[in-house]
């Protein structure tokens, strides 16, 4: 099977570390990025949902991309989240991310205004036309209120700079249709679908859990690529308890990821309001599940 993997295959949706007083911790971001690369991540997705993009400023987003690029050099891909509800604002953020050293752009469907599909398509084309680096469409209708319909993706795939999708639509049938009918590379954005999507030709994943367990997440794909489908399924099963605690416990992934990273002694810091920190019991449960997975 020939896979399209424009940004690599094992990508992490990296948190944005903050200082104890809530400011950006760029030194911490550099340290965490180095750690993630050393542990097997071949792509870093910055300023996404897990990166708390709704509560970071444009200047903070750009500074984060620049700092991480300085830390990791050209060893891995950097994809910068630039999606907003405003096309003009998104174009501006895209230009800043490109200038700061991003290799690609993560662009979510415009949210809140719930535009029809023709407007969604026009939005993505406008961003792609305004930049010189490739786009990863971010399909997460549970958050945006707007699906990027499979038919829209098929049309957008004709644009030379629209090359990938971060898939959080929970529609494996629709995703498979686009994957097999277009050159778009599909990255799972939901850990429980990492292996199923990969098995039907997906590019890999963009994982929140990989902030704390990058080797365990990558091992599933490594086993599958080596022909060990039974081993891949078992490794995937072993990761489920931590995945469920981090991604399906009723708390946002940014909250659980920062709680676990803090418990592991890695840069994280607080979340920004309106998010609230995980309580001590949640942090202890996360640490126990992490120890069980990585022992």
Choose the catalytic residue: 61, 166, 187, 198: 166
Please give the full DSSP string across 255-278, using - where no structure is assigned: HHHHHHHHHTT-S--PPPTTS-PP
Q: Where are the beta strands (DSSP E) in 125-269?
A: 135-139, 162-167, 185-188, 204-207
Tell me the two tokens of residue 2: 């020939």
CA distance 285 to 24: 27
CA distance 277 to 286: 13
Pairing label, strands 185-188, 162-167 = parallel
> Do the Cβ atoms of 143 and 49 come closer than 8 Å?
yes
Show Cβ contacts of residue 9 under 8 Å, excluding neighbours closer than 6 positions: 3, 42, 43, 203, 204, 205, 221
CA distance 17 to 155: 37
- Residue 166 main-chain phi, psi, to 5 deg: -95, 115
Residue 31 among the catalytic residues: no
Residue 112 among the catalytic residues: no
The three-state (H, E, C) secondary structure of 38-99, written as one string:
HCCCCEEEECCCCCCHHHCCHHHHHHHHHHHHHHHCCCCEEEEECCCCCHHHHHHHHHHHHH
CA distance 91 to 179: 26
> Do the Cβ atoms of 82 and 92 come closer than 8 Å?
no
Choose the catalytic residue: 138, 187, 198, 205: 138
Give me the active site residues, please. 138, 166
């Amino acid at each position: 099977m020939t896979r399209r993997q424009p940004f690599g295959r094992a990508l992490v949706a990296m948190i944005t570390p903050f200082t104890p007083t809530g400011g950006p911790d760029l030194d911490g971001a550099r340290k965490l990025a180095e750690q993630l690369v050393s542990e097997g991540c071949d792509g870093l997705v910055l300023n996404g949902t897990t990166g708390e993009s709704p509560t970071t400023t444009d200047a903070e987003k750009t500074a984060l991309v620049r700092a991480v690029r300085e830390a990791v050099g050209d060893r891995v891909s950097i994809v910068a989240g630039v999606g907003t509800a405003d096309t003009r604002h998104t174009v501006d953020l895209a230009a800043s991310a490109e200038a700061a050293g991003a290799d690609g752009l993560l662009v979510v469907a415009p949210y809140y205004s719930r535009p029809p599909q023709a407007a969604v398509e026009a939005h993505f084309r406008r961003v792609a036309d305004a930049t010189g680096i490739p786009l990863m469409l971010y399909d997460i209708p549970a958050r945006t209120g707007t699906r990027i319909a499979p038919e829209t993706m098929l049309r957008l795939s004709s644009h030379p700079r629209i090359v990938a999708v971060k898939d959080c639509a929970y529609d494996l049938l629709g995703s498979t249709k686009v994957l097999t009918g277009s050159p778009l590379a599909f990255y799972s954005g939901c850990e429980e679908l990492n292996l199923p999507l990969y098995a039907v030709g997906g590019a890999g994943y963009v994982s929140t859990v990989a902030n704390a367990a990058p080797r365990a997440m990558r091992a599933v794909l490594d086993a599958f690529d080596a022909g060990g489908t039974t081993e891949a399924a078992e490794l995937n099963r072993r990761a489920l308890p931590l995945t469920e605690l981090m991604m399906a416990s009723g708390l946002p992934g940014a909250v659980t990821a920062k709680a676990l990273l803090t418990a592991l002694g890695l840069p994280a810091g607080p979340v920004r309001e309106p998010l609230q920190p995980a309580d001590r019991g949640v942090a202890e449960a996360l640490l126990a599940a992490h120890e069980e997975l990585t022992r």
